Amino acid sequence: MTELWSQMVKRTVPYIPGEQLEQEGLIKLNTNENPYPPSPTVFQAIQEEMKRNLERYPSPSADELRGAIAERFGLSAKNVFVGNGSDEVLAFSFMAFFEPGNPVLFPDITYSFYPVYAKLFNIPYEQIRLNDDFTLPVERFFQSEGGVILPNPNAPTGLYEELDQIKRIVQENKGRVVIIDEAYIDFAPTSAVGLVHTYNNLLIVQTMSKSRSLAGLRVGYAIGDETLIEGLTRIKDSFNSYPVDRLALAGAKASFEDNEHFSNTTAAILSTRERVIKQLRTLNFSVLPSATNFILVKHDHLNGCSLYEELKARGILVRHFNTTRISNYIRVTIGTEEQMDIFLNELTAILASASPVHP
């Protein structure tokens, strides 16, 4: 029945998310979720909200949550947009700031949702080849015709680019929007949020799914100049007046009000990450420097696909990308200390049973 489809449906190539298996006992290290639960105050806030007005629509402008986010960053609520996960915020941003006819630039190895949105909205794009060590060829993002989008830290490489470099990209794209997807910034040195006062063409997108342990709640947000936020709001109000539901608004706000829980869980992940990287190196894995809650690793004796398969057979799910430049790697989310011990033990066993590659 595909002849009944619109051109939009015909041209789209949907994003494929990591597997969400509900299998008992499975160690899930494949979609960069947080291994720790959210703050207990989030549960309280959601429970309180359930007793209240679920028969009423939520606030279309999400003022309270926007206010809580603005406060954390020392901004005004007018600088904040909230959506149903940052994926929705990113989709709205493509619609609001990128145009058919003007190619948008993003890296060749990056979040694989960007080409999906571009095709869906008919926006041409050019994929800029990352350097051989996967760092950003910064100058190649200057003077874009249609704008720039890139994650910092990048996914799935985990590499962080210094703020000065991000600033140069923003400066060298006056009159076009530069979107910095900071999904993993809480595991990295410095956010570019402080630059939005200076540059009206910079939009920062962040999510509550990773560092704030709320992937199941679906809340993401954008921070930028008032005019950019107004543009996003115009798209939202032409699409769905209430993309963030009452429970999500209440839970997300509570999360922003408990920074202690957030700092503790983030610190735990960082410490586990550094420990796991050291141990993987003693097992002769190459590990890319990570400023995120995941690592991209490879081993000379086992290709990425076999590693993924062997681990899956042993109840550990990691992510393998079948893209040329990183097909030999696996991406591993940092779990709890216990989960990572099991991961390291199973890897050791896999390596012991693998037949070495002969030159």
Ligand X SMILES: *Cc1c(COP(=O)(O)O)cnc(C)c1O
Q: Does 152 bind ligand X (CB under 6 A)?
A: no
Site for ligand X in 95-134 (CB under 6 A): 111
| 101 φ/ψ sector (left φ>0, alpha ψ -120 to 50, else beta) | left
| Smallest gap from residue 1 Cβ to ligand X (A) | 30
Q: Does 87 bind ligand X (CB under 6 A)?
A: yes
| Smallest gap from residue 31 Cβ to ligand X (A) | 8
| Smallest gap from residue 87 Cβ to ligand X (A) | 3
From the number of C-beta atoms within 10 Å of its C-beta (0-12, 13-18, 19+), residue 352 rates as exposed
| Smallest gap from residue 354 Cβ to ligand X (A) | 30
- The residue range among 66-74, 81-89, 123-131, 304-312 that interacts with ligand X, by the rule CB under 6 A, is 81-89
Q: Which of 35, 151, 158, 335 binds ligand X (CB under 6 A)?
A: 151
Q: How many residues of this chain bind ligand X (CB under 6 A)?
A: 13
| CA distance linking residue 134 with residue 129, whole number of Å | 9
- The residue range among 42-50, 61-69, 84-92, 283-291 that interacts with ligand X, by the rule CB under 6 A, is 84-92
- The residue range among 79-87, 192-200, 243-251, 295-303 that interacts with ligand X, by the rule CB under 6 A, is 79-87
| CA distance linking residue 358 with residue 246, whole number of Å | 59
Q: Does 220 bind ligand X (CB under 6 A)?
A: yes
SS (H, E, C) the chain: CHHHCCHHHHHCCCCCCCCCCCCCCCEECCCCCCCCCCCHHHHHHHHHHHHCCCCCCCCCCCHHHHHHHHHHHCCCHHHEEEECHHHHHHHHHHHHHCCCCCCEEEECCCCCHHHHHHHHCCCCEEEECCCCCCCCCHHHHCCCCCCEEEECCCCCCCCCCCHHHHHHHHHCCCCCCEEEECCCHHHCCCCCHHHHHCCCCEEEEEECCCCCCCCCCCCEEEEECHHHHHHHHHHHCCCCCCCCCHHHHHHHHHHHHCHHHHHHHHHHHHHHHHHHHHHHHHCCEEECCCCCCEEEEEECCECHHHHHHHHHHCCEECECCCCHHHCCCEEEECCCHHHHHHHHHHHHHHHHHCCCCCC
Angle at the Cα of 256 from the Cα atoms of 251 and 262, rounded to 5 degrees:
100
Q: Does 181 bind ligand X (CB under 6 A)?
A: yes
Q: Which of 46, 155, 250, 269 binds ligand X (CB under 6 A)?
A: 155
Q: Does 326 bind ligand X (CB under 6 A)?
A: no
| Smallest gap from residue 37 Cβ to ligand X (A) | 17
Q: Which of 183, 229, 252, 332 binds ligand X (CB under 6 A)?
A: 183
Q: Which is nearer to ligand X, 87 or 186 (CB)?
A: 87
| Smallest gap from residue 111 Cβ to ligand X (A) | 4
| Smallest gap from residue 38 Cβ to ligand X (A) | 14
Q: Does 209 bind ligand X (CB under 6 A)?
A: yes
Site for ligand X in 24-63 (CB under 6 A): 32
Q: Which is nearer to ligand X, 296 or 350 (CB)?
A: 296
Q: Cβ of 168: how many Cβ atoms within 10 Å? A: 15
Q: Which is nearer to ligand X, 113 or 310 (CB)?
A: 113
Site for ligand X in 235-294 (CB under 6 A): none
- The residue range among 83-91, 94-102, 295-303, 323-331 that interacts with ligand X, by the rule CB under 6 A, is 83-91
- The residue range among 85-93, 172-180, 274-282, 305-313 that interacts with ligand X, by the rule CB under 6 A, is 85-93
Residues that bind ligand X (CB under 6 A): 32, 85-87, 111, 151, 155, 181, 183, 207, 209, 215, 220
